[in-house]
Structure 1
């Protein structure tokens, strides 16, 4: 009985994708409660057709008359020069009634919270929110809803929702191998950034998996290609969890796919309500024909229920070549004819009065709202007077308007005549008045955009900081670096009191790249001892920033490059939460300089290290059948060109990090001299030996101390000598697109 009462007040929203206006019409006709879409800029599906502002405004009118919602995706990282334009665009749509926005960039989030105070702000899955610890901070920043990382279990999702924030979860469509927002693979290998909506899909390419000793663990296959998500078989569990919004992926797919997928999920959400009302006396069952039709809408890979009940595993990976292999064209045609050809309309009632000598009137009523329109006086008919049927037939021609007459009452004296053009004008005026009245609640006023306020800060000389994973690397860095950041199992050793610095300088502990429930349990055991033995913490996600805020550990906090700062508004937001920050890896040196030059004293510049191309809950070691859930293991992926990408299989945190095949190093860049007022230069070590670490660090010390080009050249040669496989300059010369 209690559940029936709850369903009277709560029903999960069915949220459908729309890549163009036709898909929006199809989704609304198919039963979506809300639709998410993007303008022709600033969305994470840059290659979809997308919408003009005018099309979005028309879509808002259509949706709101049907009591549906539209959410705009602005879920990309945003450059400084783009920010004011983005806020201006969203502000115009806000004033036109936009319901909400889905946001990745912290600067965009802050700016929209200020400019559009009544706008619903949803934290995108691109933010990689993985635990309830982030929720208080997100609420402070204005968020009313979280789209958690797809990798979370149902239990973890419940824990986030228990913090008093709405939760929106994916239920169908393509899956990424990396945590969304934590993939730089397309960016570093091809220049096209997933954080800008331009992912080239390198996870869909074939690789060999190479084991720790160099043996072939898996022959060439597709170990990063995820099966598509479909939750119909476990839908009751998700509905029982009171997830607020069920999201279908697919803005890049055909309108028929969006409509067809929405139809099936609408059917089974409604079926769940009836099944629940009847006491769940039968097993939950999906009709085989429905599942077959759903799969045939878009033939790409096998299906799975995703991470809701599994942390990772080979059964989530397709292993075979993914890619669009067609669809059932007859089914697509049926869906097109049924859902895509007619704009959805609101049924209304009306009354028309036509009497000779009096103005003609039309009263229209919808949902308790009534409007009256008056036209010209009716004339005495000279020949055939208008009948009721004549008047009704002319006035019910609603054409492309938002309305259809369910019933139209006509009163006439049987002796009148009115030109057809005047009847048409009466109808248009009445329907326009009704639409404007019903939509009058949508009008709001945006506030002016406020530029970020960032106090100037410059250092006399950058300190040298190194991020290390092994004891050998730690000892090599200890005698050279001003700041050593211990990562991986070294953090546990510090917490236990068995590892400390012997040289001068500061010691920081790196928190996990992704913070999940299991990580919270581990760090709860050592946090007290750890923070008593370090000078600071190196954080890589919003959860860890929020934890540091809440716990007040009395240590410094340095945000790593995955706490993205692409604009000054993001810098303003993050700088209020941490002591220092790290430049992102996808902006060019010129962009960093033009955006942040006056605040270099707060910033660390990454000058060396293999770029983490993917942070993933998936595990190539487990996919190869070799996982024992213990320690750290180095595997690698070999692509079609025989290039190898190291993979750190970290069982402590149950994550994989896929690194670039060669390190990034800026030692030969003359532009590095323009960054000497930064807080520090950051070098990140992965699989380097202690001798390599020493050689590279001493080379960068030589660069900082060099007084002429010849000394800088010698220092650079020393660094290059420690990288026999070569290096890249990453995005320092050219930012990601």
Structure 2
């Protein structure tokens, strides 16, 4: 399968305004969701009636549209999910971004003309994991987990899974936006605390809440450090050249819940950075550009995990919501005013919004707009600011949260942008000489269909006495092609001698030419090519199969628990130790000749495997267990041909319907998989 690996900038669109903003700012593609089956259910999203107009709007401007169906699909939703797949295909959507493996298989079957992109929610953290998915179905894109570094991403490009095959799927990486505290597709915090699953598009953002820290039952004094699970945001604008060299195809901006002003600012900055990297030029991204990134939305901008793992830096715990850039430290203050010291270079003007950081409960923080700027002194309206200045003290810091001037400029940019439609260059050849008609002709193709146009003047060319027809004159006349698919590309002026033709005849000739040009119609969308259904992919029922008797299995996290389970004769013991080097002790305890236990022990793989970490799997093998509890895609790839071991899938494989269950059990020869949630 051949893939176009030209780097692409992919922007978020939670609504029509954001879609227009992305196009105006230079996105190559946008991604969006519908009211169901997408991971941003709180976004405005697009209805089924929006799909066709949206795709027409995008395609006329040379921009692609990707539909996100990036949640787990329950069994009773398969019929509705299938209907949505067909709707998306019929509307001409370019690609589907999918998390659920069963849904991805279904999409390949019933909408083969729509590209398939593996969502970051699939938890693709290693080349081996991607290799396993490639055995299930072909894909046009894999969105890697956000927790990978640039060096780890490079391993995908260089990895050879077998002696004969390299990875085939182009890579997509998030380069800007919010980060989760959990690995992509593996967060159950929101589900466990509030019955709102992130894998179902309902994340309650538990990681953005304040927490208390207890150590051995004793609450610790953390002062202002209370947002213990809230990472800062990702801003990899300086790493774009490294990611291009690492072989990344698509550069993705997070933010389907953000404003069109955010989409505008972030897209145009990354457009600038990506264009420079593509042409191997030095980046022209300025401090003013980075200021725009920080002002439109920021919890603090970082390289995320792309520069490697540094949790204290990434998650400092001091706040969990938008902050903006630091302005300085308060060195003096009074009723209605403050004086700043240690000023940063961030501009300040009247009307800007600020927040006072007193190291207190963030719910009690004070903020206001600046009324007047007097040098390093900032004056606030005494009555309308709402600030209790008795709480403001020297040593507190001040952050800028709003820049009305910038917001207005960004709003004007996307609202007033003239979004030109893509046009095909028309190359004209013009021939003739005095005493003969002027002939204009061209050959071109539109959507792989060849067209020939040819028009002749109704009067012959005259000998010019003063101003013969020049290439410039011809270009001015034939360049006005109106509401067609074309724009004048070039003119091959082959006129012989000094020719003259009345302007009125040139205009008539141009109109005749336009009448022969193809109408500005978009190509017909690629719809479903067969009548297959999700029912065709369900597991085969076997009336001869007997229902097995209930069986008790136990998950143990210490050697003492393993020994106790073995003494009780538990048939299957799953062993999940923090240190896998102790697995051999657990296996020895179960298989000890001193015990007459009939227990079998299965060792759990790590939830996550990154490039180069298959040594953990070899360590598990060396312990000689009865089987393995497989928790990630790379482990499925590693053990799929091992008939000497029991292989059981775990909940982290996100099996939410029988299509996914059948796919994994057959492809990885699994004994069983649990139902996920």
TM-score of the two chains, using structure 1 as the length reference: 0.65
- 1:403 deviates by 6.2
Partner residue in 1 for 2:294? 295
Shift in Å at residue 85 of structure 1? 1.9
Please say if 1:521 is aligned against 2:521: no
Work out which of the two has the higher radius of gyration on C-alpha atoms and give 1 or 2: 2
The yes-or-no answer on 1:149 pairing with 2:224 is no
Aligned CA distance change for structure 1 residues 458 and 254 (closer, same or farther; 3 Å): farther
Query: Are residue 483 (structure 1) and residue 572 (structure 2) matched?
Result: yes
- Which of 463, 474, 489 aligns to 2:551? It is 463
Please give the alpha-carbon distance, in whole angstroms, between the structure 2 residues aligned to 1:527 and 1:307.
28
1:180 and 2:204 aligned: no
Q: Kindly tell me: are residues 508 and 10 of structure 1, through their superposed partners in 2, closer, same or farther at Cα, counting changes over 3 Å? A: closer
Contact 1:91/1:446 (CA < 8 Å) preserved in 2?
Answer: no
Contact 1:348 1:365 in 2 (8 A): no
* Aligned residue pairs, count: 533
- TM alignment of 1:28-427, pairs within 5 A: 28-142=23-137, 143-162=139-158, 163-211=167-215, 214=218, 216=220, 218-219=222-223, 221-274=226-279, 276=280, 286-298=285-297, 300-324=298-322, 326-341=401-416, 342-347=418-423
The alpha carbon displacement at 1:233 in A equals 2.1
Q: 1:581 maps to which residue?
A: 672
Are residues 432 and 205 of structure 1, via their aligned partners in 2, closer, same or farther at CA, if it must alter by over 3 Å? farther
CA drift at 1:412: 9.6
* CA deviations over 1:542-583 (Å, ceiling 9, x no partner): 221111115x25211111112122112112212212433343
Unaligned runs of 5+ residues in structure 2 are 159-166, 324-400, 429-441, 454-476, 492-500
2:529 corresponds to 1:445 = yes
Query: How far apart are the structure 1 equivalents of 2:402 and 2:97?
Result: 30
CA apart distance, 1:473: 0.9
Cα deviation, residue 458, structure 1 = 5.1
Conserved? CA contact 2:13–2:30, under 8 Å: yes
Query: Residue 547 of structure 1 is aligned with which of 630, 638, 648?
Result: 638
8 Å CA contact 1:95–1:445 kept in 2: the answer is no
Quick check: 1:364–1:371 contact (8 Å CA) kept in 2?
A: yes
Measure, in 2, the Cα distance between the counterparts of 1:489 and 1:130: 20
Deviations 1:71-109 (A, max 9, x none): 111000111122122222222322443221111111101
The separation in 1 between residues aligned to 2:549 and 2:575, in whole angstroms, is: 23
How far apart in 2 are the matches of 1:83 and 1:514? 28
2:519 alignment partner in structure 1? 433
> Aligned pair in 2 of structure 1 residues 57, 237: CA closer, same or farther (>3 Å)?
same
Q: CA RMSD in A?
A: 3.8
In structure 2, C-alpha distance between the alignment counterparts of 1:141 and 1:49, rounded to whole Å: 33
Q: Secondary structure at the match of 1:51?
A: coil
Q: 1:664 corresponds to which residue?
A: none
CA distance in 2, matches of 1:489, 1:43: 34
Determine helix, strand or coil for the equivalent of 2:147.
coil
| Structure 1 residues 367 and 290, CA gap change in structure 2 (3 angstroms) | farther
Cα separation, 2, equivalents of 1:30 and 1:248: 13
Relative to structure 1, the CA distance from residue 217 to residue 455 in structure 2 (aligned partners, 3 Å threshold; closer, same or farther) is farther
499 and 114 in structure 1: CA distance in 2 versus 1, 3 angstrom threshold:
same
* Cross-structure match for 1:642: none
Residue 20 (str. 1) matches residue 15 (str. 2): yes
Counterpart secondary structure, 1:88: helix
SS at match of 1:509: strand
Aligned 8 A contact 2:62 2:422 in 1? no
Aligned partners of 2:125 and 2:608: how far apart in 1? Answer: 7
Q: Equivalent residue of 2:520, what SS?
A: helix
Contact 1:96 1:444 in 2 (8 A): no
Matches within 5 A, 1:489-638: 491-495=580-584, 498-501=588-591, 502=595, 503-517=597-611, 519-524=613-618, 526-530=619-623, 532=624, 534-550=625-641, 552=642, 554-576=644-666, 577-586=668-677
Structure having the higher helix fraction is 1
Distance 2:650 2:425 in 1: 61
Q: What does the per-residue CA deviation read over 1:218-264, in whole Å, with 9 as the maximum and x for residues that have no partner?
A: 45511110100001222221122121111000011011211221100
